[in-house]
């Protein structure tokens, strides 16, 4: 994560003026069973897409509010990072997509019995959405309901 001093002046000014939202109370649900019995899905704001999927639109004013399903069987090294933000160094994600979408690690956790099972699909969306209204009104409820319908107990959010 960058120090504020490492960011460009325009980004620092933007962050200072941005109307950050406060959500109270913080949404939280206590886990009802051991993680070793839970079905887990990943949610990443790294903007990853599979090779056969459309990239996120970095020209969408306020940020692309859409999302992409990433199947569990996906080769993580094939994922393409299409995050729009220039406020961080993307080279780590380019070298190892597991930094922003740790599917390989969770496959190991499933084999080791640390989690019950991985869901058959996971969700990727764009971080740095400066106008999140469309995302919070349509996309997030859509993919959240789909994960509930899949019987997912736990979603690990990997913010990028």
Domain boundaries, the chain: 25-158
Report the chain's mean pLDDT, rounded to a whole number: 89
| % pLDDT > 90, the chain | 52
pLDDT at 23 over 90: no
Radius of gyration for the alpha carbons in the chain, expressed in angstroms and rounded:
17
Confidence of residue 128 (pLDDT cuts 50, 70, 90): confident
Confidence of residue 90 (pLDDT cuts 50, 70, 90): low
Query: What is the rounded distance in angstroms from the CA atom of residue 53 to the CA atom of residue 59?
Result: 17
pLDDT at 88 over 70: no
pLDDT at 69 over 70: yes
Which 3 state secondary structure label does DSSP give 101? coil
Q: Which of 61-75, 83-97, 101-115 has the lowest mean pLDDT?
A: 83-97
Scored b (16 or more CB within 10 A) or e, 5-38 reads eebeeeeeeeeeeeeeeeeeeeeeeeeeeeeeee
- Comparing 17 with 75, which gets the higher pLDDT? 75
The token duo for 130 is 């400066």
Confidence of residue 6 (pLDDT cuts 50, 70, 90): confident
pLDDT at 9 over 90: no
pTM of the model: 0.85
């Amino acid at each position: 994560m960058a120090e504020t001093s490492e960011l460009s002046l325009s980004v620092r000014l933007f962050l200072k003026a941005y109307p950050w939202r406060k959500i109270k109370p913080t949404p939280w649900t206590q886990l009802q069973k051991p993680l070793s019995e839970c079905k887990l899905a990943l949610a990443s704001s790294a903007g990853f897409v599979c090779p056969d999927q459309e990239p996120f639109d970095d020209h969408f004013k306020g940020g692309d509010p859409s999302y992409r399903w990433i199947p569990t069987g996906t080769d993580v090294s094939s994922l393409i990072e299409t995050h729009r933000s220039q406020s961080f160094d993307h080279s780590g994600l380019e070298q190892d997509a597991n930094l922003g979408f740790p599917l390989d690690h969770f496959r190991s956790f499933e084999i080791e019995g640390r989690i019950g099972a991985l869901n058959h699909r996971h969700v990727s969306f764009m971080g740095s959405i400066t106008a999140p209204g469309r995302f919070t009104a349509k996309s997030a409820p859509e993919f959240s309901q789909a994960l509930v319908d899949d019987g997912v107990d736990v979603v690990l959010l990997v913010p990028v």
